[in-house]
Every structure is written in structure tokens, then in C-alpha cells.
Structure 1
Amino acid sequence: MVINKQKLIILFTVFVDVIGIGVIIPILPFYVESFGASPLMVGLLFGVYSFFSFFSGPLLGSFSDRRGRRPVLIISILSSAIGWLVFASAKSIFFLFLGRIIDGLAAGNFSTAQSYLSDIAKNDKERTTNLGLVGAIFGIGFIIGPMLGGFLGSISETLPFWFVGGLAFLNTVSAFLFLPETLKERQHEKISFNPFSPIKKALKDKKLRPNYISWFLFGLAATGMQSIFSLYLEKVFGFGSSTIGLFMAAMGVVMVLNQGIGLKHFWLKYFSEPKLELDMLLICTGGFLLLGSRNLTIMLVGLLIMVLAQSILRVVMTSQAAGGAVLGERGEVLGILSSLSSIGAIAGPLIAGSIFMAHHRLPFVLSAFCMVLAFGVVWFYRRKLKEIKPVDDAGADILP
């Protein structure tokens, strides 16, 4: 597969976004501590990013459907760079929050980047492969980000933030110079600035409603599990931070290989997207249940199953939603998915953290239950509406 200049710039955009998330995880508590802030402030700084990305996802997606992908991408990437530089040069808690808010608002560009890759795809299979590359970049970013943050942070607490800001400025220049517009059919409806209006609209869309509901349940399950996984490894197996870090890196490697290579050369070769989605929802359910075990071998098997299934689900569920969207509304649809992810990223950890205190297996049982619900929603709506394939017929004969 040839990765052209356009695709490379979009993947670099995603890479910078993910590197930023990964970089901030290991050093944010120490950086905030230097301002005399409490641990609560650390949580709020993480939360404020998700909160504002919830608002920006559908908004930037709608803008890109009406004004084009190129201007939205360039402005949002530049805004992200400014957010990082504000954060790095902050002299007070106020400017720390301002930097995170700016970057959170710019984080909505992820859905626009996905829309761009969907626009340039010639058929369903290529669209799914493109989105699989995004997933692989995510995995690479989460492997490199924390290590890079730890290394640069040992030199200077602010160096990682200056570094990511510099990458974002470089990304802005490359997008401005080399990224053409891909949107051919533009929407002309007025843009709603109410962040809940696209979600209300989504719930009325009978065709895409199962995609939205199952995506939210999947996000709730995944972020809930991720938030307590380190605590679980420490409490049940006595693992320290270095061992847990190796687990995270190994999960990232599996994700990269599965999405970057396995998706195209195995999964899409032998399974159709709709069947793959249902199968992986069930497989992921089993992985979550095995993860809660006190037996190390069973836990590792569950972890491998869960990572393999999740990495495929993220791509296939996104591709099904993009393929089911009207061409001029693809950005808005993917923006809604982004917002639903943000809601899950806020609610999932809160619920999982609360029930983890009662018993360490409960968050995994809850995640498995969410997967069963998601399977039921998708299966029921497909049976009811008798719509198995996406409306994008460009590659209808590609999938088996």
C-alpha cells in the first residue's frame, strides 16, 4: 500500500495529537505540583481536556462538512500548537487550564482527520484500511509518548510541552503547503453551536443509531477498564510502575501490528465488516471477563484477546459509521463519535473507580456487560432494519 503525501500529513496530525496525550501522562502530576496545586487539580486538568473536546468534536466536524476539511484542519492544528505553548510557558494555574482548554477545543480535529481519510478512499476496504492506519498510529503514539515525556521531562519539566508544540507548528506548515481540499459536496444548513443538538439528531437517525449507541457503550467499557487497570495489576499481582509500563508498551505493540498489518492482510480478507463487528464484540466480552482473574496466565490470555478485539473494533465501528453517513455529513457523524468517546472518557473512569473499591472484578464485569449490550443493539437493529452493508456502495463488491 502506497502512503501518499496527503495521507502522510493526516497520519502525522494524528501522531502529534496522540504524542501529546502520551507525553503529558507521566509528568503532569509533577509539573502541576511545582505550582503548589493539589492532586485534585491534576484530575481537573485531565478532565477539562475531555470536556472541551466533547464540545469541539461535532462542531469542527460540522464546519468541515460546510467549509471544507483543509481550513478546519489547519486552524485546529495551529490552535493545538498555541495551546501547548501556553501550557509550557504558564506562570499560574489559570494559564495551565487555558492551555488545556485550547488544546481540548482543537482535539475535535481528530474526527476531521478521519473524514479526510474517508474522503480520499476509493472504496469501503480502502476506507477501513486508512482508518486502521490511524489506529496503528494511535498505538505507536501511546508507546512513544510516555517514554518521550519521561525522558524530556528529566531534562526540564516544560521541555516535553515545548517539543509537542513545535511538532504541531511543523504540522501546521506542512498541512498549509501540501494538503489539498477533498470535500466535493458541501452542506449548506446552519451550524448549531449547541453541543447536544448533533447528539439529539443522531438519536433520531434510525440508520446510524445503533452505531452511536454501540460506540458509546464500547467507549464506556474501554475507558473504565483502562482507568483502573494499573490499580488492578498492583493490587492483585503486586506489579510496580516499571512492570505496568512494560504491559502498556506491549499492548501498544500488539495494537500497532494488528491494525497496521493484521487488519488488511487477515481480518478484512476473511471477514466482512458487519460480521467482524459482531464477532469482535463477543470476543471482547470474553476478554474482559478473563481479565478480572487472579491467575496470571488467564489474565494475560484475557489481555491479549481484549487488545486484539478492541483494536479491530475501533476501526470497524468507525468505518461502519463513516460508510453509513451521507457524503456531505461524514464530518459531523465522526464528530458525534468523538463526542460520545469524550462522554465515555469522563463517565467510564468515574464508574469503574467507584465499583473497584467494592471488588476488583466489578469494573471488568461492567465492561463485559457493556459489550453484550452493544452486541444486542447492533444485532437487533440490523435484524429490524435489514441493513447489513454501509450506504457507500463504492466498494460494495470488495468486502467478502
Structure 2
Amino acid sequence: MKKKHLALLFLIAFLTMLGFGIIIPILPFFAEKLGASSFDLGVLFASFNIMQFIFAPLWGTLSDRIGRKPLVSFGLFGFAITFILFGLADSYTEMLIYRILGGIVSAAALPTVHAMVADLFPPKDRAKGMGIVGAGIGLSFVFGPVIGGLLSSYGVAVPFFVSGGVALLTFFVILFALPESLPKEKRSSSGKRKGANPFGALFGSLSLLYAILFIVSFAFSGLETTFALYISDLYGFDSRDLGYMFLVMGIIAAFVQGGMIGKMVKRWGEATVLTIGMCLYGIGFFTIPVFGNFWAFSLILALFGAGQGMIRATANAMITQRTTIGQGVTTGAISSMDSLGRILGPLAGGAVYQFTASGPFILGGVLMVIVLLWFRLRHQRLPEPSLEA
């Protein structure tokens, strides 16, 4: 049953994030077509992440009370409708409204998928489960932008309709094929457990791990915002070159998360694998300003791909192993930290880039050193994993 569950969760994560990946290269052009300025575009991106930051823990809390499947289904159905409406929008105001609604409803889906992994896998195997779901997400960002670019030749709205269609297909897969992972007898205790505050979880005994996820998301989203400008301004690379570089990163990330995480964790433990991931991130950030050719940048992004797989799978596993509240609210809080990083990281990266082109990468490297030292000094003070978590 667990293998069937995990295969379905991999497919759901892949199809869900494939929809996001498809619209990544198209959204700016669609918004500009309707008269949006660069500031308007920033608001469009930020509004989605802000809604996810607010609502992911709230949906997670609800999933602890009523079960996982209703929330994943609701999130995917809402995602499908809002993306189709987005493709039909004929004004920036409509786009913003649908983007806000999309952020609210889609926040119910992916965090709840991670909660299902936590329901199904005991602590010792959880990193492997998180890694396989993460591999589905990674592969979606390998293929999604390519598909989106091809679909855009038929019209800038077409990728949004296809994304909505993919989400609707995923909704029916969930409805008819995905079993519930949280039995009724466990719902009241996990959803109403003392201290199950959607945001209070961020400031408890696991705050170190939540902070790592925030800083990693903050630093990497700053890179995503400025890396294209950096390689274009300094070396003349174009969007096609960037696509190939990120293709390498996505493949490496999916390979590490899907095939290596479980073995690495069994051999070295989560703390060591998490440390290795942060080291790879730090090396990646500091070496970007050193090199200036296509293969060097591809290799550096491959370091980020491998590091991302290690950090996300192990940090998620360590948090869900030690949580004293419901897995839904816990994975919702994890998603909130990722969203907050994606809200603030691009703002910081863009601001620093104005002063020095290599600034965002140096900043990211320094943050990785700080958080790595902090983790090595404090990780032994984390609570012991719970056998029931």
C-alpha cells in the first residue's frame, strides 16, 4: 500500500508542479500584453506567495481535522479553475484577483501531499519518501518551462489553459485513485492537539530547522531573480543558454532526491546529509563570480540541484519526525517558510544586484556559512525524533 501511495504522490506532485512550470516562462509576457509594468509584475508574483505563506498552515490544520484527501482535491480543483480564469483575463486587475485566489487555494495541495508522506512513512524512512516526492517536483520544473515555451507559440493564454487542464486531470486522479492516509481515529487527536497553532510552530523547539528552510529559500530565490541578468550582462548568454543550465540543475536535483537520499540518510543520518547540502549551496554561491563559461555555470547549478535535494528532503523529514502537533499544520508551516523566502529573496537579490552584480551570490554564500555554523552548533539540542510522529 505504501508503494502505491508513494507512486501516486510522486505523480500528483509532478503533475501539480508541472502546471506551475509550464507558466513560468509565459507569465511575464502575458502580463505585459495586458499593460502590466515591471512593478505590477512583481506584485503579481508576490501576491501568490503571500497568500501561500498565510494559508498553507491554515489548510494544514484543517487537513489534520478532516483528512488529507479532501484538502489535496480542493487545492487541485481550485488551482485548475483559477488558472483557466487567468488565461481568460483581459485586464491586469482580473489577473491579480485570480493570482491571489490561486495562491489561496493551491496552498492546500502540495503541503498536504508532504503531510501524507509523513502519515505513511515511519521516521527512519521519511527522508526517502520526502525525496521521492521532491523528485517529482524537480522533474516538473525540468519539463514544465520547455512545454510552456512550445505552447506559447499558439498564444500566450494557451499554457494557462493547459496548466488548468493538467490540474483538473490530477484532481480526478486524486478523486478516484488516491487513498486517504489519515484514519478517522487519528484526526481529532492530531488536529486538536495542544499547541497546534499554525504559526506558533515556527517559534518552538524546531525553529532552527524552519529558519534553515527560510534562509535557503531566501538565498536561492535571490539567485533565481538575478542569475539571468548576471550571465547576460557580463557574458552575453541568452534565455536558451539559461534554460539548458537549469535543465541540468533540475535533472541532478531529481536524481538525488529520487535515488540517493534514502541511501545517504541510512548511511550517514539526516543531520550529515543536511550539512552536505548546505555546503554544496555555499560552494555554489561563492563560485558563481569566479567562473564565466557555460559548462562552469552548468556545473555550479548542478551543485545547487544536488544540494536542494539533500536540504529539502532531510529538513522536512527532521521536522516531521520531531513535531508535537499535527503533520498537516507542520507541513503547512514548512511551506510558509518557503513562501516567505520566495517573497523576500527576490526583493533583496534585486536590490543588491543594483550595487554589484556578484552581490546576490556573495550574500547567499555568507548566509549559507552562517546557517551552516548555526546548525552544527545547535542541532544536538533538537528534540529526539518521536516514534509516533
Q: Do Structure 1 and Structure 2 share a fold, with TM-score over 0.5?
A: yes
For 1:370, the equivalent position in structure 2 comes to: 367
Show structure 1 runs of 5+ residues with no match.
395-400
Partner of 1:84, secondary structure, is: helix
Counting only pairs closer than 5 Å after superposition, residues 1-400 of structure 1 correspond to structure 2 as 3-4=3-4, 6-108=5-107, 109-121=109-121, 123-184=122-183, 185-186=186-187, 187-189=190-192, 198-203=198-203, 205-206=204-205, 208-265=206-263, 267-296=264-293, 299-326=297-324, 329-383=326-380, 385=381, 387=383, 389-392=384-387
Distance 1:235 1:92, change over 3 A: closer
How far apart, in 2, do the equivalents of 1:318 and 1:274 lie?
12
Deviation at 1:87, TM superposition (A): 0.8
Give the direction of change, closer, same or farther, for the CA distance of 1:375–1:159 in structure 2 (3 Å limit). Answer: same
8 Å CA contact retained: 1:69, 1:183: yes
**1:129/1:38 CA distance change after superposition, 3 Å:** same
Residue by residue, what CA displacement relative to the aligned partner does 1:293-335 show, whole Å, maximum 9, x if unpaired? 1443765554333322222111111111111113x51111111
State the secondary structure of the residue aligned to 1:26. Answer: coil
CA contact (8 A) 1:220 1:370 kept: no
Residues 89, 95 of structure 2: 8 Å contact kept: yes
CA distance in 1, matches of 2:28, 2:284: 31
1:12–1:105 CA distance, 2 compared to 1 (3 A): farther
Equivalenced residues, count: 383
Across the aligned residues of Structure 1 and Structure 2, the Cα RMSD in angstroms comes to 2.5
Distance 1:241 1:376, change over 3 A: same
Shift of 1:380: 2.8
Q: Secondary structure at the match of 2:181?
A: coil
| Percent of aligned pairs with the same amino acid | 27
Q: Over residues 135-172 of structure 1, what are the superposed CA-to-partner deviations in whole Å (9 max), with x where a residue is unaligned?
A: 21122111111111111111122221111111212222
Q: Distance in 2 between matches of 1:283 and 1:379?
A: 15
Cα separation, 2, equivalents of 1:356 and 1:151? 31
CA deviation string 1:62-98 (max 9, x = no partner): 1111111111111111111111121122233232122
User: What is the TM-score when the length of structure 2 is the normalising length?
Assistant: 0.91
C-alpha contact (below 8 Å) 2:60/2:330 kept by paired residues: yes
Distance 2:79 2:150 in 1: 22
Task: Give me the TM-score of the superposition, normalised by structure 1.
Answer: 0.88
C-alpha displacement of 1:351: 0.6
Question: 1:221 Cα shift?
Answer: 1.3
* 1:292–1:299 Cα contact (<8 Å) kept: no
The aligned amino acid for 2:125 is: E
Letter in 2 for 1:105: I
